[in-house]
Structure 1
Amino acid sequence: MNNIPVTSRTKVRRAPKRGNYDRDTIYQILDEGLICHIGFIANNQPFVIPTAYGRVDDRLYLHGSPASRMIKTLQDGVEMCVTVTLLDGLVLARSAFHHSMNYRSVVAFGTATVVEDEGEKLAALKAFSEHILRDRWEEVRSPNPKELAGTLVLSFPLTEASAKMRSGPPIDDENDYDLPVWAGELPLSLQVSPPIADPRLSENIAISPSILNSLG
C-alpha cells in the first residue's frame, strides 16, 4: 500500500483496527464525498464550516468570496482540519449499547495557501465542477474575468491525513445472541432523483449528457 505517513494527529487511537492510511483509499473517500467540514479558530472562537471542494492529485481545493470569514482566515496560514464522512448504513444490535453505524471517513490536517497562478486556479475551479457532476464543465459557460477576480481559491496539501472505516454486522455480547431481537444492517445510500427543470428553461433544451450520465 502507498501509505500517507502517520503523525500524532492522524493516528487512529480509538478502534485502531478501523484506521487506514492508504493514499488510494483516502482519495476514493474524498472523491465520493460531496461536502467537507472545515474546522479552524478565528479570534479565539472555534468554527466548523461545511463547504464544497475539489481534488487534484494530492491537493484539495477550496473556494469562496474573499470576504468570507473562512477564506479570509485560512488564507493567512491558520491551522485547519478537514473532515469528510460517508454514511453507509445503520448497525442494529441486540442491545442498545452495541448499536453503531457503517461509515468511511477522512480527517486531514494542515494549512492552505492562496492559488495565485491563473492556470492552476482554473484547473481548481474545473475540479469543483467535475466533483459535483462529471463532464458538466464542458457544457456550461466558463468563469469570466469578473467572476475569477471575485473568487479566491485555496490549495490544501493532503500530506497529513487518515481514514477510518467500519463495515459489517453488529458485534453483540456473546450472551445477547440468543435474545429474540432482530439485528443486522440497514444500508443507506445517496441516490439521484429525476431532474427538475429550471422554470425559465426553454422547452426546446434537452437534458444534457452529464445529467443523463448521473442518472445511470
Structure 2
Amino acid sequence: MDTERLDRHIQPTHLKVTERTRHRRLRDQGSTRVADLDAILRAGFVCHLGVVVDGTPMVVPTVYGVDFESRTLFVHGSVASRSIASAPDATVCVSVTHIDGLVLARSVFEHGVNYRSAMVYAVPRLITGGDELLHGLRVVTEHCAPGQWDYARRPNSRELAATSLLALSLEEASVKVAAGPPDDADGPDGELGLWAGVVPLRSCFGAPEADPALPAGIAVPDHVAALGGGGQGS
C-alpha cells in the first residue's frame, strides 16, 4: 500500500496551534476543529485580506473560494499583487466574520455580539496563469454562486491575462465562535427587572432582479433562483 499517497488524502480533524493562533482571551469561544473552520468559510464569500503595502498596513475586502479537498483558499489578489510581488515571503492574514446577533444584557458591561470568525495566516502564492488560475476562478465562482461556472461564458485568454489570484494554505488558522444569551442573570444585575436577551441578525438573498437590458423571454436559471429561495424575479 502506498502509505505516502494515502496520508495526502487524510484530512486533518484539528488545526495545529501556533503562537499566532493560540487562544489567549475568551478561550471558551475558541475552537481548533477543522469542521468549524470549514463551516465558517462555507457560510460566506467575502473576506478581508490584511497585507502590508509600501510599509503601510492595508485591509482589503474581496471575494474568496475554498478548495476543501486540497485545503486551499483562493482570494482575488489583484489589489494586493504589488505587496506580494515585492515581498513574496511575507505572511498575510485573511479574516472572515459572520454576525449572528446582538447580546443585550442587563448592564452595558455585559453586552456582546454572537459571531463566528476565522483568521487564516499564510504566505500566499500569486497565481497569474495556467490551469491553476482557471481552477481557482472556478472555485471562487462556484463558492459564491454554485452552478454559475457552467452557465456563464468562461474567461478568455485576454481576461485571464488581466486576472490574478492568491492561493493560501488553510493549515494555520484561528477560529472563535460566540453564541447564546447574556450570562448576568445569576448576579446582582439579574434582580434589576430589566429586559435582556439576543436580537438575532440573519442574512439571506432576495428574489433575483433581472438586468433591465435583458431581452424578454430569458428565464432565471434554476441555480440562481435557488439562491433567492426559489423566487423568479421580474
TM-score w.r.t. length of structure 2: 0.87
1:196 aligns with 2:219: no
Alignment of 1:110-121 (within 5 A): 110-115=122-127, 118-121=130-133
Give the counterpart letter for 1:198 in structure 2.
Answer: D
Give the counterpart letter for 1:207 in structure 2.
Answer: V
Aligned to 1:141: 153
SS at match of 1:53: strand
Distance 1:162 1:50 in 2: 19
1:182 aligns with 2:195: yes
SS at match of 1:134: coil
SS at match of 2:52: strand
Distance 1:13 1:109 in 2: 17
Greater relative contact order (Cα < 8 A, sep 6+): 1
Aligned to 2:165: 153
Deviates more, 1:112-121 or 1:157-166: 112-121
Aligned to 1:89: 101
Give the counterpart letter for 1:99 in structure 2.
Answer: H
The answer to whether the 8 A contact 1:85-1:105 is kept is yes
Identity %: 38
SS at match of 1:9: coil
Aligned to 1:25: 36
SS at match of 1:6: coil
Alignment of 1:45-56 (within 5 A): 45-56=56-67
Distance 2:89 2:62 in 1: 18
Q: What displacement does 1:193 show?
A: 1.3
Distance 1:10 1:206 in 2: 47
Distance 2:77 2:29 in 1: 34
The answer to whether the 8 A contact 1:74-1:111 is kept is no
SS at match of 1:88: strand
SS at match of 2:132: helix
The answer to whether the 8 A contact 1:38-1:82 is kept is yes
1:16 aligns with 2:12: no
Deviations 1:12-59 (A, max 9, x none): 111011111111210110111121111121222111111101100211
Give the counterpart letter for 2:150 in structure 1.
Answer: E
Distance 2:52 2:113 in 1: 29
Aligned to 1:74: 84
Residue segments in structure 1 that go unaligned for 5+ positions in a row: none
TM-score w.r.t. length of structure 1: 0.94
Equivalent in 59, 62, 86 of residue 75 of structure 2: 62
SS at match of 2:94: strand
Q: What displacement does 1:64 show?
A: 4.2
Distance 2:137 2:115 in 1: 28
- Give the aligned length: 213
Aligned to 2:3: none
